[in-house]
Structure 1
């Protein structure tokens, strides 16, 4: 007997759904905080896009998730040591180093973890490669993973592909992600769209709220 397969866009289930926020840190989102782009101000595309669309949409998703039984997890780029000796070779070569003591390495205030929400530091593009997130998600009973964050064509891309390979039904919320240009964002979504359900904030919020009402 052939077992029927799930659909990527099937309804979320309470107790089996998680929202993962990727790298929503002050260092990347506050103009002037990123040492690689100190010259860019609020008028830059990325900062405008995140301030006017990405962050507000994530705030809506967070509110809906917290109110309707969706597990919330956060990941940030951060070394475990102050000198960064534990970070990946790629991060050493780039170089990327955010020590645990750096305040700008934490999530922006409106997207910061509350209560006992889990936050995982990572030193690779993909959270599945440098944290125990797969172990945690399985312990939490998660099957449906909603992914948002920055950058669409780097850390979000890796997260979506790795999660799909590990058997999660992945949703990528397109207007709750961003990268340096609109073109890069669009190309990335088209490239990894086969690994997930790509949709928008309105649709996901409605799905989450419907799941909560059905419980």
Structure 2
């Protein structure tokens, strides 16, 4: 199973202080305490780990895919019902649609635009991954219990083998994070952590080469 790294929703909409859904500090759905927890985890743990993961996958010649919320139209009429209901609007060229710099696409990375929590069913991700021969999806990003969970559940239903990188995802609290991981682990995905991922990838690549003679 050829792997790829999916970096989910690491954009100004929901991964930058004072922007997007956090434009009014303390008034987001997380509340002030949840917001402080979220950004502390994001800045101290998640983004550094995602940077390491991106560098690792690029070094191994593996695909790095950046998934973001962005409509095709300026007025957002192509958005899904729930994004309209929630007021999530990221038109092309808007700040909210831009990736945050520390983990933004580099070189020939893939970029996938979506208009729902999961990209499956409202983007060309399935066709693209199949064309590239990718079956194993290492998932990182935000929010763990929303876009990351939705992507993992959908990917499992579409026949992929998802992997949740627990220490490279974030949500509103330790409790929410743990509950989400417990819901997914062993049912829709396997859970891994950044420190062990390099060894796992090395073993995976060796196994594929031994069985097929190529990578």
> Alignment partner of 1:161: what SS?
helix
Counterparts of 2:23 and 2:191 in 1: how far apart (Å)?
29
| Aligned position for 1:55 | 47
Q: 1:146 deviation in Å? A: 0.6
Corresponding residue number in structure 1 for 2:198: 205
Residue deviations 1:33-62 (CA, integer Å, cap 9, x gap) = 124552148981111110000111111100
CA separation in 1, counterparts of 2:205 and 2:159?
Answer: 24
| Total equivalences in the alignment | 201
Give CA deviations for 1:138-160 in whole Å, capped at 9, x if unaligned. 00000111111101101100111
Out of 18, 24, 35, the position equivalent to 1:38 is 24
Quote how far apart the aligned CAs of 1:97 are: 0.4
Q: Secondary structure at the match of 1:103?
A: coil
Task: Please say if 1:21 is aligned against 2:1.
Answer: no
Partner of 1:75 in structure 2? 67
CA–CA distance in 1 between the matches of 2:89 and 2:42? 22
- Compute the displacement of 1:209 (Å): 4.2
Aligned-pair distance for 1:80? 1.0
If the length of structure 2 is used for normalisation, what is the TM-score? 0.87
The residue that corresponds to 1:5 in the other structure is none
What is aligned with 2:112?
A: 120
Are 2:136 and 1:144 aligned? yes
Residue of structure 2 in register with 1:177 after alignment: 169
Give the deviation of 1:115 after TM superposition. 1.8
Q: Is the CA contact 1:82–1:101 (under 8 Å) kept in the aligned structure 2?
A: no
CA RMSD, Structure 1 to Structure 2 (Å): 1.9
1: CA distance between counterparts of 2:177 and 2:134?
27
Q: Which consecutive unaligned segments of at least 5 residues does structure 1 have?
A: 1-12
Residue 84 of structure 1: how far off its partner (Å): 0.6
